[in-house]
Amino acid sequence: MEIHFYKYQGTGNDFVMIDNRTQFFPKNNHSLIRQLCDRRFGVGADGLILLENADDVDFNMVYFNADGTESTMCGNGGRCLVAFANQLDIIDSNATFNASDGLHHATFNNGVVSLQMIDVAKIETHEKHFFLNTGSPHHIEIVDKVNQVNVKKKGAKIRNGGPYSDEGTNVNFVEIVDDHSIKVRTYERGIEDETLSCGTGVTAAVIATFNAGITTAKKIDIEALGGKLSVSFEKENETYKNIFLTGPANFVFEASIEI
């Protein structure tokens, strides 16, 4: 079987993109997805994304982790999918699409995608961490020097521990730079390692730190290992709305692979 694919990356978070509007891809073949995402025996990616037809919006997003499991929302993946849809001439500069967590709106301009994330109303505050869902679940810890954290070791321990033992969580370590900028490193479940960037993770970090009064700006610049992002939002009563994740989404290459 020959599979034609596209490779995209958003601040180092990389994805195998497949145009599945004809429904040819065997999405229940999890071993195939794992093989395609394998960095030694396949294409190599943090995840695989299918672009599919939709009746009421521009397209549907179906996202799989590198371990082959269909997963929750991926913010950088959604941004890359918007750029992919533009390359396929499905959209021009505006997009509306469905993902696992619902409806999303986005704009595309000169390689930069601004993606509207879901509203956030529930934020758990604990003694040493925060927990919230921004389309995917995220554990947030504030640290003094994020570059000194052993993200893989500590993240793996938290990811499967305590209240997260059933489904697991993504784990983010956040350093406050100043009132309008932070640094974030993320351990992602389903990849079981640190990634260079995580869109839902940086979104969660921004909302959690503002909610706790650690930051006060409603637009925060984020430095991830793979590059720079920004998150802006509005707060209405206790709900965070109009949350936009903004950053570059880049086409890497296009090819076919024999499976």
User: What string of DSSP letters covers 5-28?
Assistant: EEEEEETTEEEEEEE-TT--S-TT
Residue 52, both tokens: 């599919």
**In Å, how far are 68, 73, 146, 193, 244 from 86, measured between CA atoms?**
26, 20, 36, 30, 19
User: What string of DSSP letters covers 74-122?
Assistant: -HHHHHHHHHHHHHTTS-SSEEEEEETTEEEEEEEETTEEEEEPPPB--
User: DSSP secondary-structure letter at 151?
Assistant: H
Q: Find the DSSP H helices in the chain.
A: 30-37, 75-87, 151-159, 199-211
Q: How far apart are CA 120 and CA 138, in angstroms?
A: 12
Match 């849809």 to its residue by tokens: 85
CA-CA-CA-CA dihedral for 192, 193, 195, 198, to nearest 10:
40
From the candidates 43, 51, 142, 198, which is the catalytic residue?
Answer: 198
- Examine the residue annotation and report whether 198 is marked as an active-site residue of this protein: yes
Q: How far, rounded to the nearest angstrom, does the alpha carbon of residue 4 sit from its chain's CA centroid? A: 23
- Examine the residue annotation and report whether 80 is marked as an active-site residue of this protein: no
Residue 170, both tokens: 């993504």
From the candidates 74, 113, 146, 206, which is the catalytic residue?
Answer: 74
- Hey, which residues are catalytic here? 74, 198
